């Protein structure tokens, strides 16, 4: 790669590592272009292992509201308070994050399968540590203006901001490209009125730190079966029950294990943040409803973009995407007021039309 074509992230990685041949990447990842390398000489003796250097990818579609200005700054703030998170180091004026060696939990135990107790216990331990981080104790800079932050305990205001983001920054912001596709799938503007009515009436709960993206690919299992939590990009301050709802939605636990984890979450969080689980049995289905509605908007856009990027979409890929979207739409019938849910053939036809129009531009 010539100096003219090299990205800033790669140039920084080569500069800090001191040996271009040791730099691996870019790694697969949505939010960042990332390179991994060891440090040489004295820097390597002080900071052994591999580190990663990264830069945000340009022109990304953001599907989730962000709270903190810098993931690295937040991780520095959490050292000693949250176990099993990447270390942050400054080398040559460049911020580096330790690369966690191991395998993702998802590669070991696929979505929909049970998670062994050795990891389940550590996930509950993570919820305990998150609940113990009070909003006032966080020094990391925030992205949002002070007036755009709900008061501590205002779970209704917290969720209203999430719904507003999904409607305006994801759905409406992308209507120029996707309005026809959404219309064919039965998702119109009125769906958000249904959603706001469906999720109203939450109980107040004191806020804490949330990871807000706890899925199987964001847990790394090391050689000692320790669980590390990565990708704190979407962390926020808010309703602790939202973190549980997001986790259950993304992990796809078998039903029995999901119920057991929810009960353990209740006991654990209530111990460290009294009142943090108030009304959880009533409110958890409402928050899961929001997550299912959010998935409709994001998954329609993601699948369309993936299919549209391919020069010729085969029938198998198209059917697979249609089947997944049919399932996502089916789960969001109540929160979005969808009636009826289109069948897979209709979804596949709508995706085909969108891809043809998209490629023609």
pLDDT of residue 6: 60
Q: Quick check: 360 pLDDT over 70?
A: no
- In this prediction, residue 5 has a pLDDT band, given cuts at 50, 70 and 90, of very low
Q: Is the pLDDT of residue 157 over 80?
A: yes
pLDDT tens-digit readout, 176-210: 999 999 999 999 999 999 999 999 999 999 999 99
Residue 1 scores a pLDDT above 70: no
Residue 271 pLDDT > 90: yes
pLDDT digits (tens, 9 = 90+) for 229-254: 999 999 999 999 999 999 999 999 99
Dihedral angle at the C-alpha atoms of 260, 261, 266, 270, nearest 10 degrees?
Answer: 130
- DSSP structural state of residue 172: G
The pTM of the whole model exceeds 0.85: yes
Over residues 280-296, the pLDDT tens digits come to: 999 999 999 999 999 99
DSSP H or E stretch at residue 88: strand 88-91
Joined together, the tokens standing for residue 192 give 């958000």
Residue in the block written with tokens 């390179």: 35
Distance, CA of 228 to CA of 126 (rounded, Å): 10
Q: How far is CA 192 from the centre of its chain?
A: 21
Task: Kindly write down the DSSP assignment for every residue of 113-133, as one continuous string.
Answer: SPPPHHHHHHHHHHHHHHHT-
| Mean pLDDT of the chain, nearest integer | 93
Report the C-alpha gap between 337 and 246 in whole angstroms.
21
For residue 294 the two structure tokens come to 């959010």
61: preceding bond cis by omega (within 30 degrees): no
Asked if pLDDT for residue 79 goes beyond 90, the answer is yes
pLDDT at 113 over 80: yes
Spatial CB neighbours of 164, under 8 Å, sequence gap ≥ 6: none
**Considering only 63-72, 217-226, 329-338, which range has the smallest mean pLDDT?**
63-72
C-alpha distances in Å from residue 24, one per residue of 27, 46, 54, 85: 8, 21, 12, 22
| pLDDT-based confidence at residue 121 (cuts at 50, 70, 90) | very high
């Amino acid at each position: 790669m010539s100096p003219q074509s090299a990205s800033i992230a790669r140039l920084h990685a080569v500069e800090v590592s001191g040996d271009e041949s040791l730099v691996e990447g870019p790694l697969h990842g949505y939010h960042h272009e990332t390179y991994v390398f060891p440090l040489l000489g004295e820097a390597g003796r002080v900071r052994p292992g591999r580190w990663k250097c990264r830069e945000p990818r340009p022109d990304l579609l953001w599907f989730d509201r962000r709270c903190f200005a810098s993931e690295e700054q937040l991780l520095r703030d959490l050292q000693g308070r949250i176990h099993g998170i990447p270390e942050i180091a400054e080398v040559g004026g460049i911020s580096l994050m330790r690369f966690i060696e191991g395998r993702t939990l998802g590669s070991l135990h696929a979505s929909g399968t049970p998670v062994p107790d050795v990891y389940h216990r550590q996930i509950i331990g993570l919820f305990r540590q998150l609940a113990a981080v009070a909003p006032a104790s966080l020094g990391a800079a925030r992205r949002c203006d002070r007036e755009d932050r709900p008061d501590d305990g205002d779970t209704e205001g917290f969720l209203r901001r999430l719904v507003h983001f999904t409607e305006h920054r994801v759905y409406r912001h992308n209507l120029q490209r996707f309005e026809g596709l959404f219309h064919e799938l039965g998702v119109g503007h009125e769906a958000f009125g249904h959603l706001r009515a469906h999720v109203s009436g939450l109980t107040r709960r004191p806020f804490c730190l949330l990871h807000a993206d706890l899925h199987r690919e964001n847990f790394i299992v090391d050689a000692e079966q320790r669980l590390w939590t990565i990708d704190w990009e979407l962390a926020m301050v808010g309703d602790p029950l939202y973190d549980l709802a997001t986790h259950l939605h993304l992990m796809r636990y078998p039903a029995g294990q999901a119920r057991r984890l929810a009960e353990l979450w209740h006991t654990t969080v209530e111990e460290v943040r009294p009142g943090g689980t108030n009304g959880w049995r009533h409110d958890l289905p409402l928050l899961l409803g929001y997550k299912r509605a959010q998935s409709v908007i994001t998954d329609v856009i993601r699948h369309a973009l993936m299919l549209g990027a391919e020069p010729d979409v085969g029938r198998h890929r198209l059917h697979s995407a249609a089947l997944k979207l049919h399932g996502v739409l089916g789960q969001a019938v109540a929160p979005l007021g969808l009636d009826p849910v289109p069948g897979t053939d209709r979804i596949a036809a709508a995706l085909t039309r969108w891809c043809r129009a998209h490629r023609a531009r």
